[in-house]
Structure 1
């Protein structure tokens, strides 16, 4: 291992702390989980925790950033492996979301859950949530423009609203039914916008 590797690779203790936070924060909520619980389950010392994360808020931000990267990687994979047509990347993202809703331990959207606990617009955690959601909306808007440019923004916002509803409903109702309903909604949204594009192209 080179010196550069040791400088850039996260320490094992930091990874344990972050992975523990990802698991517990998502399953049980953020405010309800204290630093002592994280330290105990990650099997590190208090000094080690504070060396990597000066405060609980720093750990929460790291948790949200890691979940953001996981979402980003999953959606990029879905887009890159989809068929080459305007609607297929969006269907691939929708299917990825539907798969998540049906996965074991699903407990809704980590960012919406965190937003309920951090409603203050000026709090760093709330701003991190908004940044993630803006990235998601921007991604969808870019893809929707390939389907029908003029309606890309409202169509992308419609997609986000369908997704948010499905993420909430997936915790309350039969996940498979919720995922199927969500996919039908996205297919209908894409069909409407594809038909608009086809009608304009015919003139």
Structure 2
């Protein structure tokens, strides 16, 4: 899911082929961006963590923004795959799909490295809607809203788009709760909230 984190293992010296070096830089940047924020992490800090030269870094990522977009794109791809798998496992059963989603988000919130939703965090750092990082955030959130609308439609919602907006708000709040409040409460409270929204839109 978008909230799943890169490994906390520090990368070693850069070696291997071009793809391996790029992956090493991306792993280091992803770990640092999530833990400390995109703006707070300099390119030099990523270069040191990845064990590469500046020339190598900029050969793979011409700007730090390019690396930040790659970080978010990787998270988005992983989350889309996981959410599609959850929906497929509970095909046609919106209630079960949403309950499984709540459980998965609760599991993520209880991890030691959790510090909220990577997309919400990144979006808060970049106010300009035209900034490439903000666009990456908006694109993924638009996908997420469509996913939730499809699930709500599976459940017979009278207005799938409205239901999706409410489900998304609950999901965002749960991620904040998991970061600054009670991570153990995320799964049960979110599951109850999801069920209430779905029921409200079935009447």
User: Which TM bucket (shorter chain)?
Assistant: 0.7 to 0.9
What's the TM-score, normalizing by structure 1? 0.86
Alignment: residue pair count: 187
Aligned-partner Cα distance in 2 for 1:14–1:132: 23
| C-alpha distance 178-91 of structure 1, shift in aligned 2 (>3 A) | closer
Could you give the per-residue CA deviations for residues 139-189 of structure 1, whole angstroms, max 9, x where no partner exists? 111121121242211111100000111111211112002332222111222
Task: Give 1:119-198 correspondences, 5 Å limit.
Answer: 119-194=127-202, 196=203
Aligned-partner Cα distance in 2 for 1:122–1:51: 25
Aligned alpha-carbon RMSD (Å): 1.7
What's the TM-score, normalizing by structure 2? 0.86
Aligned-partner Cα distance in 2 for 1:154–1:122: 26
Q: Unpaired runs of 5+ in structure 2?
A: 1-16
Could you give the per-residue CA deviations for residues 71-113 of structure 1, whole angstroms, max 9, x where no partner exists? 1122122222236523222322222222211222111010110
77-86 vs 21-30, greater mean Cα deviation: 77-86
Q: Unpaired runs of 5+ in structure 1?
A: 1-8, 197-203
Shift of 1:18: 0.7
SS in 2 for 1:11: helix
| C-alpha distance 54-92 of structure 1, shift in aligned 2 (>3 A) | same
| Matching of residue 31 in structure 1 with residue 29 in structure 2 | no
Matching residue of 2:7:
none
Matching residue of 2:58:
50
Could you give the per-residue CA deviations for residues 8-60 of structure 1, whole angstroms, max 9, x where no partner exists? x9711100111111111001111111111111111111111111000111101
Does structure 2 conserve the Cα–Cα contact (< 8 Å) formed by 1:98 and 1:183?
A: no
Matching residue of 1:199:
none
Structure 1 residue ranges (4+ consecutive) displaced by more than 6 angstroms after TM superposition: none
